């Protein structure tokens, strides 16, 4: 069983139940609406866009990624999943890939709505690169923490407490890089933020693959 099979299982289960995606989309839309109302008098639209997008994705990650393993435990299938002859790293990457797809689906709703309301131009490919790398980083960190918090009764409350401190470097790079891209700054201006996001993703991918077995067996 490969990581693709794990990701496919999670995506199909979510497509049937929609118990995670629908609340995430509603939360993201609520956060985006509040952000647009709060920043309606800010004339720098790059600041507003980066704030709305990354606040929405951060809250969606804090809410939705707690379900990555919590749902398996609630259904009583976590022990069965762990008993399968599958490498723990493959399980980690499969869960992270499914979580990243959920966050990208959330971004696909939030971003067009923001640009439709604001009347700004469509985002550049570099903007999409920041969203992709940022969503992947959120998913990688959240998957490890979801495994750690799955056994806690208050995992939905515990998840943000564990998640947000680790997201500080990612969010700083994503917000500043997104602002530079949307302002039309040259590549040299936002290359450090893009490289930081890529390095962040690689670091947590390696750490997750190495430490995931201890996380799920804790």
178: nearest Cα among 99, 123, 141: 123
For residue 191, what pLDDT is reported? 94
pLDDT of residue 218: 58
Rg (CA), the chain: 17
Average pLDDT, rounded, for the chain: 82
- The reported pLDDT for the residue numbered 1 is 56
The CA distance from 133 to 202, in Å, is 10
DSSP 84: S
User: 76: helix, coil or strand?
Assistant: coil
pLDDT score recorded for residue 177: 93
122 pLDDT tier (thresholds 50, 70, 90)? low
Residues 6 or more apart in contact with residue 112 via CB below 8 angstroms: none
What percent of the chain has a predicted confidence (pLDDT) above 90? 23
Give the model's confidence band at 194: pLDDT under 50 very low, under 70 low, under 90 confident, else very high. Answer: very high
Alpha-carbon gap, residue 129 to 14, rounded angstroms: 25
Nearest CA to 77 out of 104, 95, 60 is that of 95
Q: Residue 132: how many CB atoms within 10 A of its CB?
A: 16
| pLDDT at 162 > cutoff 60 | yes
Please report, for residues 46, 47, 194, 216, the alpha-carbon distance to residue 187 in angstroms, rounded to integers and kept in the order given: 16, 18, 10, 40
């Amino acid at each position: 069983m490969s990581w693709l099979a794990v990701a496919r299982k999670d995506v199909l289960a979510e497509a049937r139940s929609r118990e995670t995606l629908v609340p995430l989309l509603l939360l993201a839309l609520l956060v985006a609406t509040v952000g647009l109302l709060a920043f309606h008098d800010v004339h720098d639209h790059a600041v507003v866009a980066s704030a709305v997008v990354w606040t929405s994705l951060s809250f969606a990650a804090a809410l939705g990624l707690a379900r990555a393993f919590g749902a398996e435990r609630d259904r009583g299938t976590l022990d069965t999943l762990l008993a399968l002859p599958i490498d723990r790293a493959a399980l980690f990457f499969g869960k992270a890939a499914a979580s990243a797809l959920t966050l990208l689906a959330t971004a696909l709703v939030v971003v067009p709505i923001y640009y439709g309301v604001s009347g700004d131009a469509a985002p550049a490919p570099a903007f999409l690169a920041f969203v992709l790398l940022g969503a992947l980083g959120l998913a990688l960190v959240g998957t490890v923490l979801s495994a750690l918090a799955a056994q806690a009764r208050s995992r939905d409350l515990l998840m943000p407490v564990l998640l947000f401190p680790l997201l500080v470097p990612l969010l700083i790079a994503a917000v500043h890089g997104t602002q530079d891209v949307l302002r039309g700054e040259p590549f040299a201006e936002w290359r450090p933020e893009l490289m930081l996001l890529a390095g962040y993703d690689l670091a947590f991918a390696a750490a997750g693959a190495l430490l995931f077995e201890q996380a799920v067996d804790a």
